[in-house]
């Protein structure tokens, strides 16, 4: 347990020490999204009967949680691999489960810190409700854990920073941007509505937003089931890779 706690604390301390880059910058980015989109669309668009800004805020919070959870585990691992300092984690008697749990929970921690920061600065611009806080917490934790785990996979798989950037720009960014952060999928043509239902991030955003307003594109139970199954499958895959020592132990 001390080994797990140490690795988790070290990962938290790592992002905390560069908080300008890892916390303040994504909060500012989300704020800019809100200012621009709200300025353009507030008077023209209502979604699920909500003012556009109110609809947008939970989506931006969740998107920040997801992107930063991914960034934390993936950047820490690729940096350790490129510099060689990963050896300090591989030499001690830490099990592959401890390795996974510590990196993922630290990723969730960063996602939540950034998410709370985004909520704190954007909440002033919208009339938010918290009708079901349990759903908010559940989807924040599951979403952070899924993207944190995906970050572990990407960090282990990538040998170079540009490979990780490709993973981030060509997979994570499209999945998060095309997930209903900025719109309801009911506003899309039927074909793209159907495509959106294959994007697991859509269920994370939709379920998270349900916790604020009690309205969503699909039932939160459906979203929870999809997100739960995705987490279980991805965790099993990642643990199997770590147990084999994939790209870590030659």
Partner 1 sequence: MTVPAIRVSGVAKHFGSVCALDGVDLEIAGGEFFGLLGPNGAGKTTLISALAGLVRPDAGRLEVMGHDVQADYRGARRLLGVVPQELVFDPFFSVRETLRIQSGYFGIRGNDDWIDEILHNLDLTAKADANMRALSGGMKRRVLVAQALVHRPPVIVLDEPTAGVDVELRQGLWRFIRRLNEDGHTIVLTTHYLEEAESECARIAMMKAGRIIALDTTANLLQRFGSETLSLEEVFVRVMNA
* Region binding partner 1 by CB under 8 A among candidate stretches 46-54, 83-91, 138-146, 233-241: 83-91
Q: State the nearest-atom distance from the C-beta of 15 to partner 1, in Å.
A: 9
The least CB distance from residue 2 to partner 1, in Å, is 5
| Nearest residue (CB) to partner 1, 6 versus 222 | 6
Q: Pick between residue 10 and residue 48 the one whose CB is nearest to partner 1.
A: 10
Residues 42-81 that bind partner 1 (CB under 8 A): 80
Quickly count: other Cβ atoms within 10 Å of residue 143's Cβ: 29
- CB nearer partner 1, residue 1 or residue 190: 1
Q: Read out DSSP for the chain?
A: -HHHHHHHHHHHHHHHHTHIIIIIHHHHHHHHHHHHHHHHHTTT-EETTEEHHHHHHHHHHHHHHHHHHHHHHHHHHHHHHHHSTTHHHHSSS--HHHHHHHHHHHHHHHHHHHHHHHHHHHGGGS----S-HHHHHHHHHHHHHHHHHHHHHHHHH-SSHHHHHHHIIIIIHHHHHTSSSSS-GGGS-HHHHHHHTT-HHHHHHHHHHHHHHS--SS-HHHHHHHHHHHHHHHHHHHHHHHHHTTTT--
What is the smallest separation between the CB atom of 95 and partner 1, expressed in angstroms?
Answer: 7
Q: How far is the CB of 245 from partner 1 (least distance, A)?
A: 6
Q: Which is nearer to partner 1, 72 or 199 (CB)?
A: 72
Instruction: Return the range that interacts with partner 1 (CB under 8 A); candidates 5-13, 106-114, 165-173, 180-188.
Output: 5-13
Task: Report 20-39 residues binding partner 1 (CB under 8 A).
Answer: none
Question: Residues touching partner 1: how many (CB under 8 A)?
Answer: 27
- Judged by CB under 8 A, the residue of 49, 93, 134, 189 near partner 1 is 93
Q: Residue numbers of the site for partner 1 (CB under 8 A)?
A: 2-3, 5-7, 9-10, 13-14, 17-18, 80, 83-85, 87-95, 245, 249-250
């Amino acid at each position: 347990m001390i080994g797990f706690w140490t690795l988790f604390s070290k990962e938290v301390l790592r992002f905390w020490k560069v908080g300008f880059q890892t916390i303040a910058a994504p909060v500012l980015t989300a704020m800019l999204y809100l200012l621009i989109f709200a300025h353009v669309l507030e008077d023209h668009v209502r979604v699920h009967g909500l003012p556009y800004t109110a609809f947008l805020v939970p989506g931006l919070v969740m998107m920040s949680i997801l992107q930063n959870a991914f960034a934390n585990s993936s950047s820490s691992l690729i940096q350790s691999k490129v510099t060689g300092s990963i050896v300090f984690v591989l030499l001690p008697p830490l099990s592959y489960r401890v390795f996974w749990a510590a990196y993922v929970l630290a990723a969730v921690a960063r996602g939540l810190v950034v998410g709370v920061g985004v909520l704190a600065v954007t909440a002033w611009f919208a009339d938010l409700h918290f009708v079901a806080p349990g759903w908010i917490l559940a989807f924040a934790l599951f979403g952070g854990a899924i993207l944190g785990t995906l970050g572990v996979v990407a960090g282990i798989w990538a040998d170079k920073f540009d490979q990780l950037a490709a993973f981030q720009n060509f997979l994570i960014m499209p999945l998060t941007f095309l997930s209903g952060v900025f719109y309801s999928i009911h506003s899309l043509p039927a074909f793209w509505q159907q495509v959106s239902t294959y994007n697991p991030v859509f269920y994370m955003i939709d379920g998270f937003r349900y916790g604020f307003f009690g309205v969503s594109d699909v039932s939160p139970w459906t979203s929870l089931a999809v997100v739960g199954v995705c987490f279980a499958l991805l965790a099993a895959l990642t643990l199997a890779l770590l147990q084999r020592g994939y790209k870590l132990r030659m």
